[in-house]
A and B are shown apart, each in its own frame.
Chain A
């Protein structure tokens, strides 16, 4: 079947796509975790835009994907895209590329503040889209509405390329969760420490789009640890910011005075989720999650050298603490992290490739293409993408207000339980 394009005789197939998408949402939240089926109906022709982060995917190795064209505003980056993806066709801009009728889908790896604009431009031209994180940035909650409205209006596939959704830790956590190993996860935390991020704030002496950006406006790497495991939604937040009066914090287009932000979110299931996004301080770079349950807890590896750990309640097993008090003695286990990228979760041709960003890029490549080929909704679809992104916008607002508790708007069609 020829896939969805924006012309009248394809509207039926688009409707059937939407229908299937809804059914998938209703039946199972994380369909891509099933093993990869061998036979596929068609190949997706993709256009890749953005020759920086956009270089780090494996479109050329996916059995169901053909890189049809590439684009970047800068000639040297465009040339690099052509080389990496062995693609002879190129355009000077995203706006030109999306006019190409041969292209089914576009990979948007442009500047954060342009994501929503570029996604909408692609969809106006009938293209499915995968976008870099965050789903929207710099335009507040209003921009999230614009993005969602466009995706719903055009009925095309949207996926956010969230790398932490495909960390070994998060993949394992989803499997444990599906097996109901945790009991109730009453607390979670996620940390994104990236000291020295300001190295990316300037290029040839000029400010880049990252210059001065608010930490919580880049929340998706953290949100993925909880939302990507349980599917719950963040409904309230109190957030605190810390800055030191650095010139970057006094003069940036985002009016952001903070290097670091720390938030305590509440979820729609009454759970707590602590998120740190820190760009300054004495800490090693890390993206890390921790899920604490009533029956099992799963601690991601720490930046300081401890590997992943599982802790399980052990019924009535007790120990005496050094104050003489009795307490539960749970079971401990160093978790030997499987390399899921070598498993049948990926097509055979992609299992030998070591993907970037914690091994996530091959999964992201596969999920977007596979969801299109099988006409299903990708895991990190528009609703998930907004649920990962918007809480950070509100968290930053809370920090600017000195930590005021704020409600987070919800975008789901069906109220999440």
Chain B
């Protein structure tokens, strides 16, 4: 089959899907599927944590990591005999339909574009882009539009039980108007990932708000609204990591108040230091119903509905 035609028809279908329903994946999974997707998995750190080998419509065709021991681990986890020494080599394999890019944050865009140049659909680890500012987001966006291939960001908070439930409540119009949301990502002690064998990793000193997707998913992933303005505070101490890092970032914790295109407020914490337990948490406050995600301090999810919303003057 001519690849160009299938790509064009894919674009057409994608556009249609965008126009008709924002969250198509929420419909039940259809039983019959046209073909199996042959995936190449790159990145044996976080990339070893998915279940491609168990999906009925997926075959792990090849794996890759720059480090031999991680590559071997990918081969073992995904029961895959074919491997490459680099992403650049893997994407040349014509048998591969799609690539799972689980490489270092600052390389996501470069790697996604490299895959697409070679005609591969891509799923990428979060964040979509990092370290290259807004320019990098434009480059990614332009590439995805130009090549017309499927792009997906592997955002975990989008699939938290809380967010999936919230999307269902939202579709059923249970909330009324959600005028306020919160998304928190607390990960005290993240700096243990800043060094490996004494050398700095790509995470060393990264700015908290450059890793926002676990938090933003709790609102954008439910209502689809867009964040249009922000006021943000950073907090740091005298730690040497904050004085010398490639990101020139002086903060351990950042706290932001976003405004949305619908005039709503969204408070986001991304914190890597302090007396708090790690976790991702969302909270959606509406006029008819509110939905509070489980707190890291031990309370499960809570729904609040006022029995009587308005009280008439006497």
List residues of chain A with CB under 8 Å of any chain B CB: 182-184, 186-187, 195-196, 198-199, 201-205, 238, 240, 242, 244, 260, 262-264, 266, 270-272, 274, 276, 278, 280-284, 292-297, 299, 302-306, 309, 311-313, 318-319, 321, 323-330, 332, 334, 402-403, 405
Q: Which of B179, B180, B277 contacts A329 (CB 8 A)?
A: B277
In contact, B267 and A201 (Cβ under 8 angstroms): no
Q: Select the stretch in B11-19, B33-41, B60-68, B255-263 that faces chain A.
A: B255-263
Tell me whether A326 and B285 are in contact in the complex, defined as CB-CB below 8 angstroms, given that A242-B263, A262-B267 are known contacts. Answer: no
CA distance A178 to B117 in the complex (A): 61
CB of A212 to closest CB in B, whole Å: 13
Inter-chain contacts of B188 with A (CB < 8 A): 313, 327-328, 330
Docked complex Cα distance between A280 and B188 (Å): 34
Cβ-defined partner of B257 (8 Å) among A240, A271, A323: A240
Separation of A403 and B257 alpha carbons in the complex (Å): 10
Q: How far is the CA of A312 from the CA of B189 in the complex (A)?
A: 13
We find that the number of chain B residues with CB closer than 8 angstroms to chain A is 58
Please give, as numbers and ranges, the residues of chain B lying within 8 Å of A328 by CB-CB distance.
Answer: 188-189, 277-278
Contact partner of A199 (CB less than 8 A), chosen from B285, B290, B311, is B311
* Most chain A CB atoms below 10 A, which of B46, B235, B275, B310: B275
Q: Is the CB of B275 within 8 A of A294?
A: yes
* Chain B CB within 10 Å, residue with most, of A205, A242, A319: A242
Interface pair A306/B237, CB less than 8 Å apart: no
> Counting CB contacts under 8 A, is B114 at the interface?
no
Q: Is the CB of B187 within 8 A of A327?
A: yes
Q: CA separation between A79 and B304, bound complex, in Å?
A: 41
Asked if A292 meets B298 with Cβ closer than 8 Å, knowing A282-B305, A403-B229, the reply is no
Q: Are B298 and A309 in contact (CB under 8 A)?
A: yes
Residue pair A270, B235 in contact (C-beta under 8 Å): yes
Q: A294-B274, A323-B49 are in contact. Are A403 and B176 (CB under 8 A)?
A: no
Q: Decide: B257 and A238 in contact? CB cutoff 8 A.
A: yes
Given contacts A282-B288, A323-B49, contact A242 B179 (CB under 8 A): yes
| Contact A282 to B286, CB < 8 A, known contacts A238-B231, A264-B233 | yes
Tell me, in angstroms, the Cα distance from A345 to B310 when the chains sit together.
41
Least Cβ–Cβ distance between B181 and chain A, in angstroms: 10
A30–chain B nearest beta-carbon distance, Å: 23
12 contacts between A and B (CB under 8 A): A184-B237, A187-B235, A205-B313, A238-B231, A270-B235, A280-B287, A282-B287, A283-B306, A304-B302, A304-B304, A329-B277, A403-B257
Answer yes or no: B273 CB below 8 A from chain A CBs: yes
- 8 Å CB contact of A327 from B190, B259, B310: B190
Whole-angstrom distance between the Cβ of A183 and the nearest chain B Cβ = 7
Structural contact, A327 and B302, CB atoms closer than 8 A: no
B118 at the interface (CB under 8 A from A): no
What chain A residues lie within 8 Å of B314 (beta carbons)? 202-205
* B265 within 8 A of partner (CB): yes
Known pairs A329-B277, A332-B277; A318 contacts B253 (CB<8 A): no
Known contacts A198-B310, A294-B274, A312-B275; 14 further A-B pairs (Cβ under 8 A): A196-B310, A199-B313, A263-B257, A281-B285, A281-B290, A282-B176, A282-B288, A292-B274, A304-B304, A306-B295, A311-B277, A324-B49, A332-B277, A403-B259
A184 CA to B237 CA in the complex, in Å? 10
Q: A274-B257, A294-B273, A297-B276 are in contact. Are A282 and B235 (CB under 8 A)?
A: no
Complex Cα spacing A311 to B295, Å = 12
| B246 CB–A CB distance under 8 Å | no
Nearest-CB residue, chain A, relative to B229: A403
- By a CB distance below 8 angstroms, the chain B residues around A271 are 233, 235
Q: Enumerate chain B residues within 8 angstroms of A274, measured Cβ to Cβ.
A: 255, 257, 267
- Closest chain A residue to B305 by CB distance? A282
Q: Which of B175, B177, B264, B298 contacts A306 (CB 8 A)?
A: B298
Q: Assess whether B235 is in contact with A186, with CB atoms less than 8 Å apart.
A: yes
- Once A238-B257, A271-B235 are accepted as A-B contacts, the answer to whether A311 and B189 lie under 8 Å apart by CB is no
Q: Which residues of A contact B177 (CB under 8 A)?
A: 244
Find the B residue at minimum CB distance from A296: B275
Q: Which residue of A lies closest to B289 (CB)?
A: A282
Is B255 a contact of A264 with CB atoms below 8 Å?
Answer: yes
- The reply to whether A332 and B267 form a contact with Cβ atoms under 8 Å apart is no
Q: Which residues of A contact B292 (CB under 8 A)?
A: 304
> What is the CB-to-nearest-CB distance from B264 to chain A, in angstroms, rounded to a whole number?
7
Least Cβ distance of B148 to chain A in Å? 32
Residue of B nearest to A334 (CB): B298
Assuming the A-B contacts A199-B311, A272-B255, are A309 and B297 also in contact, with contact meaning beta carbons closer than 8 angstroms in the complex? yes
Once the chains are docked, how many angstroms separate the CA of A274 from the CA of B233?
11
Complex CA gap A311/B235 in Å reads 19
Partner of B235, one of A272, A281, A319: A272
**Is there contact, CB below 8 Å, between A283 and B304?**
yes
Contacts of A302 in B (CB 8 A): 295, 299
A262-B180 contact given A304-B302, A306-B299, A309-B297, CB 8 Å threshold: yes
Q: Output the nearest chain A residue to B255 by Cβ-Cβ distance.
A: A272
Q: How far apart are B80's CB and chain A's nearest CB, in angstroms? A: 20
